[in-house]
Amino acid sequence: MKYYRNLSVSRGRAIARAGARAATLALSAIALLAPWQSASAQLGSFNPDPGPRGTYAIRGARIVPVVGAEIASGTIVIRDGKIEAVGANVTAPAGAKMIDGTGLTVYPGMMDAGTSIGLSEISQGAASTVDISEVGSFNPNAQAFYAINPHSAHIGVTRVVGITHVLSRPTGGIIAGQAAVMNLAGSTAPEMSVVQNAAMVIQLPRSGFGGRGGGFAATTGGGNTQEVNRTRQRQVDSLKTLMRDAMAYGKVMDAYAKDKSLPRPASDVVLASLVSTVRGELPVIMMADRENDIREAVMFAEEMKIKPIIMGGRDAWMMAPFLKQHDVPVLLSAIMDLPSREDDPYDVNFSTPAKLAAAGVKFAITSGDAGAEARNLPYTAGMASAFGLSKEDALKSVTLWPAQILGLGDRFGSIEAGKMANLVVTDGDVLEAKTGTKFLFIDGRPVPLDSKHSVLFEQFKDR
């Protein structure tokens, strides 16, 4: 047998099955892998189910609650999916399954608010594994929730670094559809779902190339600037018309609900799906990277009285006072992008989070990745810290802040009594690439630390 240090990939599975005896069962759990090995040639089904909800206590661990002071050694009690208590002097209730946290650190589970996880398994050469976009320009009624594959192998490899929940969004067109907030555990979409309809995703048509998501008008303008602009304006007008129709539709439906003697209006699933958006109730994720695209997205949102969240945000640093003034948050996904102009400072995108933080702009750091690379989220936040963001803010930018931006700050993002028990227990700083995960809880359920990758590792490490 070859020598591998830190052979800990199977510990989580042990805890799922054996609770308090978890740490001692690490090696015997390897034997449990055998039935899966045949699955390694299939798509999906690599994510072992979490253990049951119940009462668990993590004892003797360093606790980084994100809200409030760090606890050098304390206890966290988890009951029925929620954090029941946290503190230095909390006593574990009798009957709780105990996890020894000595030498380990507990963090709130991280959130990647910039994925399309479960919607695209293999982006090239396997089109039938990609359900990320619909045809046509306006698809407000397309919901990511209905296409997310709970057995995507991306889920297992993402959660083992401590990313416990994500926003998964459709892409493409002008209205791409509705994004969902999902826990990264469960066998079905309803089991994973936290918010089925978390945000509408809109990309205003842009002229010219650059930034993410392509430029719609640019492809039809044939290089003629005036024609490009006319095409773009037509598309924006169509969007506005649709949104105004949805507003009217909502009014008519409300009126009819109050007074059934009115003529019954015809139902329209497309308009119905837009009503909460145009009323400013459902946040709108607006894809925008370039300075002018960000400005136009914000101005469009103000005109239409919708609630914008900028996603992408490559040039957001140039727009910091503007974003602050208009109170628009940003889901940053451009930190690892190369500078867009040759003469930009080499670290222009690495340092965007620090600049936004200094300007008081609300932001979160996201991977911006469809799924496979989402696991690099913590290192992206760490990189932002290497270029000026404080370590505390770096952690908040992948825990509390994304939750707050999506209106879920009371449910996620910190270790506080009453919040969902999404927790990661590590052997070091959770943002460091070398750090290992020792235990994982999602929705109060212990999650095995196996994934497609650890399964293949076990299968071949000694061959």
Partner 1 sequence: MHRFLSRGALLAACVVVSPVALGMLAPDALIAQAATTTARTGTSGSMLIRNATVLTVTKGTLKNTDILVQNGKITGIGTGLTAPAGTTIIDATGKFVMPGIIDPHSHMMSDAVNEGSLSVTSMVRITDVLNPTAVNVYRALAGGVTSANILHGSANTIGGQNATVKLKYGEEASDMLFPGAPPGIKFALGENVTRKNSNTFVIPGQPTPQKRYPTSRMGQEEVLRDAFTRARDYKATWDDYRSKTAKGDKTLLAPRRDLELEPLVEVLEGKRLVHAHSYRADEMLMLLNLADEFGFKIKTLQHGLEGYKIASEIAKLGAGLSTFADSWSYKIEAYDAIPYNVAILMRHGVVATINSDSDERIRRLNIDAAKLMRYGGLTEDEALRTITINGAIQLGVENKVGSIEVGKDADLGIWNAHPLSVYANVDKTIIDGEVFFDRQKDIAMRAEKEKERAELEQADANKAPGATRRGVITPLPEMPQ
Binding site for partner 1 (CB under 8 A): 2-7, 40, 43, 121-126, 153-154, 208-210, 219, 225, 336-339, 341-343, 345-347, 371-373, 375-376, 378-379, 382-383, 385-387, 391, 431-436, 452-454, 456-457, 460-461, 463
- C-alpha distances in Å from residue 225, one per residue of 50, 208, 228, 230, 231: 55, 9, 5, 9, 10
Rg over CA atoms, the chain: 23
- 64 touches 105 (CB < 8 A): yes
List beta partners, residue 256. Answer: none
Q: CB 382 → partner 1: shortest distance, Å?
A: 3
Q: CB 201 → partner 1: shortest distance, Å?
A: 22
Q: CB 306 → partner 1: shortest distance, Å?
A: 30
> Residue 239 and residue 241: Cα distance in Å, rounded?
5
- 56 touches 78 (CB < 8 A): yes
> Residue 142 and residue 260: Cα distance in Å, rounded?
30
Burial (CB count <10 Å: 0-12, 13-18, 19+), residue 219: exposed
Of 7 and 18, the one with the shorter C-beta distance to partner 1 is 7
Of 416 and 427, the one with the shorter C-beta distance to partner 1 is 427
- 425 touches 437 (CB < 8 A): yes
> Residue 61 and residue 75: Cα distance in Å, rounded?
7
Of 84 and 289, the one with the shorter C-beta distance to partner 1 is 289
The amino acid at residue 167 is L
Of 256 and 379, the one with the shorter C-beta distance to partner 1 is 379
Coil/strand/helix, residue 312: strand
Of 19 and 221, the one with the shorter C-beta distance to partner 1 is 221
Coil/strand/helix, residue 64: coil
- C-alpha distances in Å from residue 227, one per residue of 106, 207, 211, 293, 297: 56, 10, 21, 18, 21
Q: CB 29 → partner 1: shortest distance, Å?
A: 17
Of 258 and 434, the one with the shorter C-beta distance to partner 1 is 434
Q: CB 463 → partner 1: shortest distance, Å?
A: 7
Q: CB 251 → partner 1: shortest distance, Å?
A: 42
Check residue 127 and report its DSSP letter. G
- C-alpha distances in Å from residue 276, one per residue of 236, 246, 247, 345: 20, 9, 9, 42
Of 29 and 218, the one with the shorter C-beta distance to partner 1 is 218
Coil/strand/helix, residue 29: helix
Of 161 and 278, the one with the shorter C-beta distance to partner 1 is 161
Q: CB 422 → partner 1: shortest distance, Å?
A: 20
Q: CB 50 → partner 1: shortest distance, Å?
A: 22
Q: CB 170 → partner 1: shortest distance, Å?
A: 19
H-type alpha helices, 45-117: none
The continuous run of DSSP H or E covering 251 comes out as helix 225-258
Of 257 and 346, the one with the shorter C-beta distance to partner 1 is 346
Of 39 and 248, the one with the shorter C-beta distance to partner 1 is 39
Q: In sequence order, what E strands does 189-329 have?
A: 193-202, 283-288, 307-312
Q: CB 66 → partner 1: shortest distance, Å?
A: 18
